[in-house]
Homo-oligomer: A and B are copies of this chain.
């Protein structure tokens, strides 16, 4: 019963098969191969727009590269104060942005509110002491497993654009968010104002495959060199392209996300049915449940794996009791109904 993360499994079967199939025969190196070009075109079709696509092996690399294309070394990138880019990437964005700075703003459920962004920008000094804001980065899903609605993305993007900033979406769990919103990829991104997307595939069925997607190709002019000097241009480009082929063919990516979300819903429903409460509203494949610490310990003792979480983004009314904690449960394409039910049974015994 491992709910520790969605990166603990290998590739899903169609992705692995595509990788094996693409292995044979010579292909041009460094991404100049027809398979990579096919994937780039396919992503354009999925997003219903001309795009510039850069494949990459890690989410941290993809986020850092995307931001480095938007933010000059003397600029600011605004994000939630507990966003993955500011908190969990060991300074990769700052390194790739050449010491440009991330400015973290507060917000319940790890979501930025438009009014928070607006008033923070209004309060910035125009002095040269102040690095000017050049980008906004939104995580979809957020670190608390919540999702921005299309209107929220549009409102935040509009504020950013009015202030001369570009907008990045960290879509490490893009597919899960998309299934949650029930809209098209275009609607959740460029039609709501997103300029650049980190389209994550690793967590949702690949082994190591992310796509940086620029909706305005002119923003990507520096990207070939930025990626190469970051060491992120694979010589055997087929490794990335093949994973994407298996991932995108037959809407496999949507199926994987739908399954993971369904498993999370089953978990959430089961837990709340037992009288537990969620710290934040579940949107995709992550459930943040409030439990007694002793209860969590008991479950771990019985072989359940999951991580504790900090309570910093709770709404004021949701404060924890003295012996309560927040625990994150993550499902994936590989989570089985039986595993969820077994876990719920164990929880039931600890109530």
Contacts and interface: CB of A to CB of B under 8 A. Distances in A.
B29 A10 contact: no
A13 to B, nearest CB: 9
Given A24-B10, A225-B132, A57 B98 contact: no
Contacts of A203: 235
A16 to B, nearest CB: 6
A234 interface: yes
Chain copies in the assembled complex: 4
Contacts of A57: 57, 208, 234
A309 interface: no
Contacts of A2: 26
Contacts of A20: 16, 20
Contacts of A95: 73, 98-99, 229-230
A193 B234 CA distance: 30
Contacts of A208: 57, 234-236, 239
B10 A225 contact: no
Contacts of A89: 129, 228-229, 231
Given A73-B98, A91-B100, A128-B90, A61 B231 contact: yes
A44 B300 CA distance: 35
A37 interface: no
B231 A58 contact: yes
Contacts of A129: 87-90, 228
A2 B334 CA distance: 41
Contacts of A4: 26
A74 interface: yes
Contact of A231 (B5, B10, B64, B131): B64
Contacts of A132: 225
Contact of A27 (B8, B94, B224): B8
A26 B61 CA distance: 23
A327 B232 CA distance: 28
A300 to B, nearest CB: 15
A101 B92 contact: no
Interface string A206-231: 01100000000000001011111111
A7 interface: yes
A231 B230 contact: yes
Given A99-B91, A129-B88, A29 B58 contact: no
A202 interface: yes
A25 B131 CA distance: 31
Contact of A94 (B65, B99, B128, B225): B99
20 contacts: A7-B236, A8-B27, A9-B26, A10-B27, A11-B23, A23-B207, A57-B57, A57-B208, A74-B225, A74-B226, A89-B228, A89-B229, A90-B128, A90-B131, A91-B99, A98-B99, A128-B225, A129-B228, A132-B225, A207-B238
